[in-house]
Structure 1
Amino acid sequence: MGVRKLHRGLLLLLLGLLVLPLLASCGPQQKPILIGAPIPLTGPYASDGEQMRMALEMAIEEKNAAGGLLGRPLKLVVGDVGGLEAEKIKAVGERLLGAGVDAIITGYDDGGVDTHTFGGRQVPYLHCNAMTLCTQPVKENPDYWNVFQYCANEVAYGVDAAENLLEKIPQKMGWTPPNTRIAIIKADYAYNIMAADRFRDLAKEKGYEIAVDEVTQFGVVEWGPILSKIEAAQPAYVTFWNLDPTDAARFMIQFRQRFEQTGINALVFMQYTPAIPEFLQLAGKAAEGLLWVTDVATIGPGVAEYAARWQKRFGEPPKAVYAYATRDGFDIWVKAVEQAGCVDCYKKVADNIRSITHQGFCGTYKFTQDDQSVIPAEDLVPVVWHQIWEGESRIVDPPRYKQFDYQIPPWIK
């Protein structure tokens, strides 16, 4: 009888060991960590916004498959900021905060309004708006300690263009500028205005003449009047600062049509906009030879392997740089949380972000201590130059990331 009781006891113990995990799995799940994502899913920047959403979805899926963050699952809460209208951004921000999110992560969602919406609200807010209007309030208001911009400000475009476009690229291209005249066409939007004005001021200091200086609203359909001024001035440099991909594509199509027969001895430059997938779709062959820059580019390690995972997950390759940059923003926050050992200890998480060094797909991220934006440098997160050739954007500078040699544009006869 004693042996039977012993066997029965062992059997019950084994059954208990088998059943308890099953019962535990049927019990209450860990409360998910909510990540808010204010992104443009409709309007002119929707193609970028879609890449941001997909990047965050895949990041969360992969993190959850690996056991979650600090043992808890992650869940995405998306808000559509449309065409970056101020009231829409405010409304989306309040909805996300009201949902109880523990972080706000986006590629871009606006300039300025977002900082005041999320600043001082405790939860870390990581964005890549590349705007002084987003970072200056952080510098001036200590309550905005939770706001981080994981790219440089827009003025970096102006500084880099004054140095490279005017002084270095002509020699690398084997092209001699016919004069020192410049045309500047800029949209009445802070992201474009501040970069273009910085470029203008530096160009003047170098002795260049601003022969055309035009400010437009978004939504220009007919560029003829401005192209007439460019034709009359015959500048050596035509610079276009307008975030709307439709505006930029129309400009290039009409520019090529205007100078198809006569040609024009000038380089054409754009700030960031050709990175938006719609631009090349709309401009087509008219964009051939165009120079453009971005301060978020896929120059870090692991890009090909990430693109392969993306292809497997979505059945198509990444279409824009924000497929990578947004993942970098997510990974920065995750690393800071893991170092803190807690999600809702927001100040500790923010302190970790502020002191972090993170190697991502778009470079090595380090934050300034005053406005909490990324430090721009060739060996950190550089401004990267591209030229469109044979229907693709190819990296031409800085030298360490170069994929392609500068080509003389086809409109230079």
Structure 2
Amino acid sequence: MPSFVNRLLATTALLAALAAPAGAAVVKIGLLAPLTGPASADGQEFQRGAQLAIDEMNKAGGLNGNTFELAVGDVKDQSAGNVTSAVERLLGDPAVHFMLTGYASLTNFEIDNMAEAEMPYILAATSQQTRDIIAPKPDDYACCWSWTPSFDAYNTDVPGFVETLAAEGKVQLPTKKVAIVSSDNAYSKTISEGMKKTFAEKGWTLTVDELVPFGEVTDWRAILAKIRADVPDIVINTDYLPGNSASFLNQFLEQPTKSLVFLQYAPSVPEFVQLTGKKSDGVIYNLLGGPLTTPKNPRAAEVAEKFKAAYGVESGTYGVALYEIVNVYFDALKKAGDPADHAAVMKAIAETDKQTVAGRLKFDPATHLAMQGDDYIPLTFFQIFDGQRRLISPPAYATDAFQPQPWTK
């Protein structure tokens, strides 16, 4: 994050503390975020969204005699050592009574640290790993809940979405060949492996299957040469880092094939469009837990407008999500009363049932994941044109229709 933003947030927190009534406690909310490293654009979103919710609450006079302050632990490159260091520092602060993240370790091993410390914790991303940890013994993890629903839809729904477009005459699938590129991290690999299995079950042929090391990737041309040598109907890249995804698209468009291009998550981050400009027109991606900006969910537009008014930029997926997660905590604290009564706070979080930017948030007690589906948090498909994200599926929420990608015409 630019230094002036850090100074602004620090000044805001200081002014809020000075304005607190005499004798009021300052409750710290611990945020795990990659403020430095390849995912820093997301880390900045985490911090801005959480800070916005805190600033609003403090401006309203606080809650139960308490004001709030954000304490940030930088997980940097998301390595186990850096995540552990950030977790231990925040857990070691007795003023921290709630923690959250968009994502920290990707394997989510820190859930066990939160359970041991009896620290209320809400995270997003890599929900398969969250489920694997919690589902065998959910009662042992009263601490921890996932904003994101099951990733099963990520694994299964892209082939069906594309085949529906073909059935409607909007795309051509002459070969039923697919090229899948992934990054060596828990998020990207889980999704790509699920996609490969689903495409195979539907009779597709996998022509390119590539895994790149996790971290910055600037040259995709060797992989793209393989794609051009046996042109597929669909090209998929599940690398979630916006810089990597942008360079992949830019290099694909140096000599594009008439293939539908799907990029996982990265196009939802504003940095992606900044790096690709008009070249991003037509790109498709999907989201679980992303903003559901539609007349049927006015909450999403309301929060997006607050974010832009506060920071002068539009939020990606995580800015508005972290804003909502902090407000889930505030709702729970209203019920629990005492921020130090972590058991009561955790019980209140478990009982959450509210409309959010992503849809209706209610947790599955068996997995502690947000419930998924059109009546809860749906899997949404977006397409970019003119730098704007257009919601094209599911039909119940769509605000726009799919348009052919420019390089396929």
Is TM > 0.5 for Structure 1 vs Structure 2? yes
Q: 1:50 aligns with which of 44, 67, 71?
A: 44
Counterpart of 1:77 in structure 2 is 71
Q: Which range moved further: 107-116 or 399-408?
A: 107-116
Distance in 2 (CA, whole Å) between partners of 1:312 and 1:249 is 27
Q: Does 1:269 align with 2:269?
A: no
Return the letter of the residue paired with 1:170: A
SS of the counterpart of 2:301?
Answer: helix
The yes-or-no answer on 1:168 pairing with 2:164 is: yes
Residue in 2 aligned with 1:4?
none
**1:230 pairs with 2:223:** no
Partner Cα distance (2:408, 2:142) in 1: 50
Shift in Å, 1:255: 0.5
Does the residue aligned with 1:78 lie in a helix, a strand or coil? Answer: strand
2:155 counterpart residue number: 158
Tell me the amino acid that sits aligned with residue 187 of structure 1: S
- Which stretches in structure 2 are left out of the alignment for 5+ residues? 1-18
Which of residues 217, 223, 234 in structure 2 aligns to 1:220? 217
What do residues 383-405 of structure 1 show as CA deviations (whole Å, max 9, x unaligned)?
11011112322111112222222
Q: Which residue of 1 aligns with 2:8?
A: none
Equivalent residue letter for 1:248: S
The SS at the match of 1:373 is coil
Distance apart, 1:61 and its partner CA: 1.6
TM-score, structure 1 normalization: 0.88
With over 3 angstroms needed to count, the CA separation of the structure-2 counterparts of 1:206 and 1:36, relative to structure 1, is: same
Distance 1:256 1:200, change over 3 A: same
Query: Retained in 2: the 8 A contact 1:186–1:193?
Result: yes
Say what the alpha-carbon RMSD is for the aligned residues. 2.0
Q: Which amino acid aligns with 2:27?
A: I
Instruction: Give CA-to-partner distance per residue, 1:204-255, whole Å, 9 cap, x none.
Output: 1111111111111133322122112111221111111101212111111111
Mark the CA change 1:60 to 1:175 in structure 2 (over 3 Å): closer, same or farther. Answer: same
Structure 2 contact 124–148 (Cα < 8 Å) conserved? yes
Question: In the TM superposition, what are the counterparts of 1:30-49 in structure 2 within 5 Å?
Answer: 30-49=24-43
2:59 corresponds to 1:62 = no
Would you say the 8 A contact 1:120–1:144 is kept in 2?
A: no
Given that 1:130 and 1:152 are in contact with CA atoms closer than 8 Å, whether structure 2 keeps it comes out as no
Q: In the TM superposition, what are the counterparts of 1:2-21 in structure 2 within 5 Å?
A: none
Cα deviation for residue 86 of structure 1 reads 1.6
Taking structure 2 as the reference length, the TM-score comes to 0.88
Distance 2:408 2:25 in 1: 62
| 1:128-157 Cα distance to aligned partner (Å, 9 max, x none) | 123322331122344322011111233321
Counterpart secondary structure, 1:73:
strand
Given candidates 253, 256, 266, the residue that maps to 1:256 is 253
What letter matches 1:400 in structure 2?
Answer: A
The 3 A distance-change label for structure 1 pair 397 and 173 is: farther
User: Are 2:115 and 1:122 aligned?
Assistant: no
- Is the Cα–Cα contact under 8 Å of residues 270 and 314 in structure 2 kept in the other structure? no
Code of the residue aligned with 1:103 in structure 2: it is F
What's the secondary structure of 1:225's corresponding residue? helix
Whether the 8 Å contact between 2:25 and 2:65 is mirrored in structure 1 is no
Bigger radius of gyration = 1
Q: Are the equivalent residues in 1 in contact too, given 2:304–2:315 (CA < 8 A)?
A: no
2:364 equivalent to 1:371:
no
For residue 25 of structure 2, give the secondary structure of its aligned residue in structure 1.
coil
Kept in 1, the 8 Å contact 2:38–2:77? The answer is yes
Pairs aligned (count): 383
Report matched runs for 1:282-301 at 5 Å.
Answer: 282-299=275-292, 300-301=297-298
Q: Secondary structure in 1 aligned to 2:206?
A: strand
Tell me which residue corresponds to 1:137: 133
8 A Cα contact 1:308 1:317, kept in partner? no
- Counterpart of 1:12 in structure 2 is none
Q: After superposition, what is the alpha-carbon deviation per residue over 1:6-29, rounded to whole angstroms, capped at 9, x for unaligned?
A: xxxxxxxxxxxxxxxxxxx99952
Aligned equivalent of 1:21: none
Q: Which runs of 5+ in 1 are unaligned?
A: 1-24
CA shift, 1:172, in A, is 4.3
2:15 matched to which residue of 1? none
- Please state how far the C-alpha of 1:353 moved relative to its aligned partner: 1.8
Q: Distance in 2 between matches of 1:239 and 1:250?
A: 14
Match of 1:86 in 2: 80
**8 Å CA contact 1:328, 1:360 repeated in 2:** yes
* CA distance in 1: counterparts of 2:388 and 2:307, whole angstroms: 20
Deviations 1:46-104 (A, max 9, x none): 22221221222121121122221222111211111122222111100000011121000
- Three-state SS of the structure 1 residue aligned to 2:36 is coil
* Counterpart code for 1:162: P
1:86-105 matched pairs, under 5 angstroms: 86-100=80-94, 101-105=96-100
Aligned-partner Cα distance in 1 for 2:29–2:132: 25
> Are the equivalent residues in 1 in contact too, given 2:64–2:334 (CA < 8 A)?
yes
Q: Flag the 1:181–1:55 CA change in 2: closer, same or farther, 3 A.
A: same
In 1: Cα distance, 2:129 partner to 2:112 partner: 10
Larger displacement relative to structure 2 (338-347 or 86-95): 338-347
Match of 1:289, SS state, is coil
Change beyond 3 A, Cα 1:217–1:104: same
Q: Distance in 2 between matches of 1:52 and 1:34?
A: 16
What does the per-residue CA deviation read over 1:188-218, in whole Å, with 9 as the maximum and x for residues that have no partner?
A: 1110111111111111111111111111113
Query: Amino acid of the residue matched to residue 41 of structure 1?
Result: L
Determine helix, strand or coil for the equivalent of 1:342: coil
Distance, in Å, in 1 between the alignment partners of 2:72 and 2:385 is: 36
